[in-house]
Chain A
Amino acid sequence: MSQDHVDAAAPRRSIYRHALAVRLTHWLNVLSLTLLLMSGLQIFNAHPALYWGDKSDFEHPLLAMTAADAPDGTGIGVTTVLGHEITTTGVLGLSFSANGRPVERGFPSWATIPSYQDLATGRLWHFFFAWLLVLNGAAYLAYALASRHLGRDLLPTRHDLAHIGRSIRDHLRLRFPKGKEAEHYNVLQKLAYLLVIFVLLPLIVLAGLAMSPQIDAGFPVLLDVFGGRQSARTVHFIAAWTLVAFVLVHLVMVLVSGVWNNLRSMITGRYVVEEEEASDGR
């Protein structure tokens, strides 16, 4: 076990890991993504169904959340995914208000902003924080390019890629690098960050814009890219949950690789590196 190596006497040193610009844009990004997800679920609830193509084929949604009557007269929540019905009472389709009353809604009130059904207000939140996400993302990219953060810290080196197998094995054993190697992101971390920054986030922004009738008039090519406005809505939804999946893994890695050290580094910039021990088993 990796804990075997923890030695109170192991030499440590503190390094400056994250520039102010990275820390600031990171936390603004966390804020806007959280609010975008929850206001997005509010928007979704106005018509809790997804389709493929240009128009909605109401009889054949890819995904739909509805409430139905159980044989005993009580309400149940039903989620239909690609034609398969799943009972999701309490969470999707039908959930319970604070006073225990069953309410028909796609996602439950604890997942949406506002907590009550209000599409207009959900849209207010969504478009405000969409702008924050985009402007913050542009500021981050400008900084990452100008300061060479992108090239220096995020692009995998040839050496990184050659040793990706080892990095995967280390991750599976929750064994994290020490010494010189710990000063940089490892290769899986770099690839995950690049995927989020250059694929997922641009994808969700473009899919969001493809749902705009005004943008579609100016850039009909967006509809060709996504395969229609309803497809863009579906892609937007899938991209949102893929981001959630990334964040869950990201949070687990932050937790298991030294939660206070990681958080301190993303708040104050300083990160403590444990020196490599000669007796390291590798």
Chain B
Amino acid sequence: MDDRGTIERRLLLRAAAAAAALPLAGCDKLSSSDWFRSLLASAEGANLRVQRLLAGRQALAPEYTEAEISPRFRSNGTSEPDDPAYQALARENFASWRLAVDGLVERPTSFSLAELAAMPSRTQITRHDCVEGWSCIGKWTGVRLSALLDTVGLKPNARYIVFHCADSLGGGFEAPASYYESIDLVDAFREQTILAYAMNGAALPIPYGAPLRLRVENQLGYKMAKYVMRVEVVDDLTRIAGGGGGYWEDRGYAWYAGI
């Protein structure tokens, strides 16, 4: 090929690359503009309403057999909180750990692990779907969240249940922030919504959220807060942390994670 041809070919290639890059750069620009993000996010409300309408408010997630339990369940997010207070609790096997339940409740109370274990419980073998795309199957035993909420009594204006956790994520570019999550009353009162203290028949191990983690089987993994220290009942999420209703929600993820 002569030089002219090569140069022309290179120019042509470069022009093609530029033409392709233009709409891509446009998409990146739209991705970081507030108005466009809120337009895109309007689909979340549709997902929540239509999926609940279609699937029903009492629908149970499929349950699996012992044989289907994942031999190696992946642990994502924090696998060991570095908070010294948490580590002190962990060293004595959470003997003095207590779960605080407060906010818009009639009788704010705190519970030890033994007290939680004495309440109505549920055991279920369910599939855990991570927002990244993978799934693992595990067996969980825990206190039904509905039983816990009935014990403390919800005030009439209660709307969301917030789970405050012992672990923090971030660091690097971002200041570390405490993990938290929230669900509404529809999901809080589902039969399979539990605060689990056991996994695959043994005490909940630290990488999976010891001593207590949430299981909301109709949503993705990031909703299922690990290392839960406090349950707070609120009427409004915008006053907590970034206002999105959860650690990942404050960083752009959907609050409704049913898909």
Interface residues of A (CB under 8 A from B): 35, 38, 43-44, 46-47, 49, 51, 54-56, 58, 110, 113-116, 118-121, 123-125, 127-128, 130-131, 209, 211-220, 223, 229-230, 233
Contacts and interface: CB of A to CB of B under 8 A. Distances in A.
Given A123-B253, A124-B37, A220-B62, A43 B259 contact: no
Interface string B101-145: 000000000000000000000000001011111111100000000
20 contacts: A43-B133, A46-B131, A49-B133, A54-B127, A55-B135, A56-B74, A58-B72, A114-B28, A114-B31, A118-B252, A119-B131, A120-B251, A125-B31, A128-B39, A213-B220, A214-B59, A214-B219, A214-B258, A215-B51, A230-B134
Contacts of B135: 54-56, 229-230
A48 to B, nearest CB: 9
Contacts of B14: none
B54 interface: yes
B68 interface: yes
Contacts, number: 139
Contacts of B46: 131
A46 B133 contact: yes
B31 A217 contact: no
B69 to A, nearest CB: 9
Contact of A217 (B20, B60, B252): B60
Most buried by A among B37, B68, B74, B127: B127
Given A124-B40, A125-B40, A217-B218, A114 B27 contact: yes
Contact of A120 (B21, B60, B253): B253
Interface in B198-257: 217-220, 248, 251-254
Interface of A is mostly: helix
A127 B44 contact: yes
A121 B252 contact: yes
B31 A214 contact: no
Q: How large is the interface on B (under 10, 10 to 19, 20 to 34, 35 or more residues)?
A: 35 or more
A223 B254 contact: no
A191 B51 CA distance: 33
B42 interface: yes
B1 interface: no
Interface of B: 20-21, 24-25, 27-28, 31, 37, 39-44, 46-47, 51-52, 54-56, 59-62, 64, 68, 70, 72, 74, 127, 129-137, 217-220, 248, 251-254, 258-259
Contacts of B258: 212-215
B254 A123 contact: yes
Contact of A55 (B39, B55, B136, B217): B136
Most buried by A among B43, B56, B68: B43
Contact of A56 (B59, B136, B217, B252): B136
Contacts of A213: 61, 127, 129, 217-220, 258-259
A73 B25 CA distance: 32
A114 B52 CA distance: 29
Given A47-B133, A217-B60, 9 more contacts: A114-B28, A119-B253, A120-B248, A124-B43, A128-B40, A209-B259, A213-B259, A214-B219, A215-B51
B42 A128 contact: yes
Contacts of A54: 64, 68, 127, 135, 137
A120 to B, nearest CB: 4
* 10 interchain residue pairs of minimum CB distance: A218-B55, A214-B258, A120-B252, A212-B259, A217-B59, A47-B132, A56-B134, A124-B40, A47-B133, A46-B132
A219 B133 contact: no
Contacts of B44: 127
Contacts of B132: 46-47, 119
Contact of A113 (B31, B43, B253): B31
Contacts of B31: 113-114, 118, 121, 124-125
Contacts of A43: 133
A90 B167 CA distance: 37
A214 B193 CA distance: 13
A79 to B, nearest CB: 17
Contacts of B54: 215, 218-219
A230 B129 CA distance: 10
Contacts of B55: 214-215, 217-219
B126 to A, nearest CB: 9
Nearest to B54: A218
B51 A212 contact: yes
A58 B74 contact: yes
